[in-house]
Structure 1
Amino acid sequence: WKDKAGYLQSVRGFEPFQSHNNEKNKDQHIRVLLYGPTGHGKSSFINTMDTILRGRMTGRALAGTIGGTSFTQQYTTYKITKGEHGTFYPFVFNDIMGFEKDKGVCEEDIKRAMMGHVKDGYMFNPLSTLSTDDPYYNTNPSLSDKAHVLVCVVSASKVRLLSRLMTNMRKVRREASDLGIPQMAILTKIDEACPKVNADLRNVYKSKFVKKQMELLSESLGIPLNCIFPVKNYHSEITPNDDLEMLILMALRQMINFGEDFVNDCKCT
């Protein structure tokens, strides 16, 4: 809990992809693709990371507060500004439409996003997937266009309610496994799920309820426990919270590590 400054410095100083002449490859970045049920905190997670790294409250990824329907309709890549204007961190995040009970994002669209075939601006259609002749279909994706880490986002208070959607999410996970893409999960809204954690975020790893939800998610999706990170996104806060940011930075650091390993392995093949 006292190492927030170290984690923050590690993320801010992250400079991967050194070329042979020691110049950074400005075109290469780690792409993190977020997926999961509607209303579980994908957009809020992006905003929270943006807030932490920029040092001020942000809200670029529009997040809805009314459940039932996905607020995210368009495929969007979020870059995070670093220091001077026009420079960005070497990692980006993609937000997509969420899964819903009878509609929501098509599994095939998630697969195509993982493979780099989806261009920014594509409007998701629950009734049909992106066609190969669509102007938003990227015919020849580069390594940079592809997803390097797949992250499942699930609310801690709703894991047990996702039995029908888990089938869809398992299919997405299998597709990612076939592509060799590393995977992890974040368990959001831990404060809403457990009064003990709501009273003090530092109780998160002491909470039997949070542990049980992590185990349930692990059993349902097959993601190892050490790849599931319980977090709280910024929601009602208007001032920084060090404990909240520490949990987010732990998850972000793992995403970066997984993504860097995947990209390096791709470059070696």
Structure 2
Amino acid sequence: MGKNQSTEKQPAPSPLLDEPWRKVPWGNNKENLRYVMDYKPENENIKHLRVLLYGPVGAGKSSFINSVNNVIRRRIGIPAAASATTSDTSFTKKYETHKFQITREGQKMYYPVFFNDMMGMEEGTNSGISLKEIELAMKGHVSEGYKFNPVTSLSDDGRDYNPAPSEDDKVHVLVCVLSANMPSITPSILQMMSSVRETASDLGIPQVAMITNIDTACPETEKDLKNVYKSRHLQKKIKTFSSDIGIPMNCIYPIKNYSREIDLDDDVDTLILSALKNMINFGEDFIEKK
């Protein structure tokens, strides 16, 4: 007598959705690349859009800056020092502005979107960047080259404190960078992120999130990057991050940073350009109000 149908073991669901939950124009980067490359701030009082990256140690902040550099300059480069090994401590030790040189109308100039990298968030006291320093950076009070000290935060009478920041010194877009390989966000870091988001909201700064390492976190995406929005695992991970950090899913962008590639890759560029275009749009909306 055969087994009851209800007790038969059901096949595991496919790791891929039948349809992607977000549409991406794969194979046609020309339009987004042109949009990104043609960008200039409309506000004449602001020469460049400033993007600040923050997040846990090892999330891929510096690698994202390098990836944007590759897309903008159309070649592989490493303007931001990034670690290739996993560590519990931050590889970035100082506050640094990353600018990308381009040629426009026959002249050498800097692309008008600047990125600021900072020390990562770490567990425990007297480790990693402090909440105060992130807030000071958002307001433009942290000087270029400031060396982070987990034991002593920057004070308003310190040598590296900028008492009168210009609109160009202030942050116009805040980006939370998280790794898809993270099992979860620890309560202490989650609390710190919540405080950062609250300060940014008070300042009116638009906020987005980058989810890195989508290839190593999901076998289906590692096989084909185009599976990123069909991967059940990544969809669940992004929903969880969205709920945890309070950033809507339409402001969260899964990407793959350039890591092992020695030449540009169209699929990697597609995701980075999509994220960068939206960053520019949100930042431009913000500085138009200045």
TM-score over 0.5 (shorter chain): yes
Counterpart selection for 1:227 from 245, 251, 256: 251
CA positional deviation for 1:86: 4.0
What is the match of residue 70 of structure 1? Answer: 90
Does 1:244 pair with 2:268? yes
Paired with 2:64 and 2:180, the residues of 1 have a C-alpha distance of 14
- Alignment pair present for 1:8 and 2:33: yes
- Taking the aligned partners of 1:146 and 1:125, their CA distance within structure 2 comes to 21
- Check whether the contact 2:95–2:147 (CA below 8 A) recurs between aligned residues: yes
Equivalence for 2:219: 195
Indicate if the aligned counterparts of 1:159 and 1:216 stay in contact, CA closer than 8 A.
no
Give the paired residue count: 260
3-state SS of paired residue (1:144): coil
Instruction: Determine the structure 2 residue equivalent to 1:22.
Output: none
Aligned to 1:259: 283
What is the identity, as a one-letter code, of the residue corresponding to 1:65? A
Cα deviations by residue, 1:197-241 (Å, 9 ceiling, x for unpaired): 000000000001111111111101110000000000000111111
Alignment of 1:175-214 (within 5 A): 175-214=199-238
In 1, are the aligned partners of 2:41 and 2:49 still within 8 Å (CA)? Answer: no
Q: Which amino acid aligns with 1:14?
A: Y
Q: Which amino acid aligns with 2:81?
A: L
Kindly indicate whether residue 71 of structure 2 is the aligned counterpart of residue 52 of structure 1.
yes
Per-residue deviation, 1:18: 5.6
Task: Please name the residue that 2:165 is paired with.
Answer: 141
- Does the 8 A contact of 2:68 with 2:272 survive in 1? yes
CA separation in 2, counterparts of 1:218 and 1:258?
Answer: 18
- Residue in structure 1 matched with residue 193 of structure 2 by the alignment: 169
Letter in 2 for 1:5: K
User: What TM-score do you get using the length of structure 1 for normalisation?
Assistant: 0.93
SS of equivalent to 1:258: helix
SS in 2 for 1:160: coil
The 3-state SS of whatever aligns with 2:230 is coil
Whichever of the two has the greater Rg, that structure is 2
CA 161–172 in structure 1, closer or farther in 2 if over 3 Å, else same: closer
Q: Where do 1:26-37 residues align within 5 Å?
A: 28-37=47-56
Within 1, Cα distance between the matches of 2:169 and 2:28? 33
Higher helix share: 1
Higher relative contact order (CA 8 A, sep 6+): 2
Match of 1:89 in 2: 111
Q: Give, as a single letter, the amino acid of the residue that structure 1 aligns with 2:63.
A: S
Q: Equivalent residue for 2:100?
A: 80
For 2:149 and 2:181, the matched residues in 1 are separated by 28
Residue 39 of structure 1 corresponds to 58
Query: How far off its partner does 1:17 sit?
Result: 2.1
Distance in 2, Cα, partners of 1:136 & 1:85: 33
Conserved in 2, the CA contact under 8 Å of 1:39 and 1:65?
no
2:239 aligned residue (186, 191, 215): 215
5+ unaligned residues in a row in structure 1: which ranges?
Answer: 20-24
**Superposition RMSD in Å:** 1.3
Q: Which amino acid aligns with 2:224?
A: D
In 2, Cα distance between the equivalents of 1:217 and 1:78?
Answer: 27
Q: C-alpha separation between the residues in 2 aligned to 1:129 and 1:147?
A: 19
- Aligned sequence identity (%): 47
Please give the per-residue CA displacement for 1:68-111, whole angstroms capped at 9, x wherever unaligned. Answer: 11010000001111116640111100000000112100010000
Structure 1 Cα separation of the partners of residues 122 and 89 of structure 2? 7
Aligned to 1:121: 145
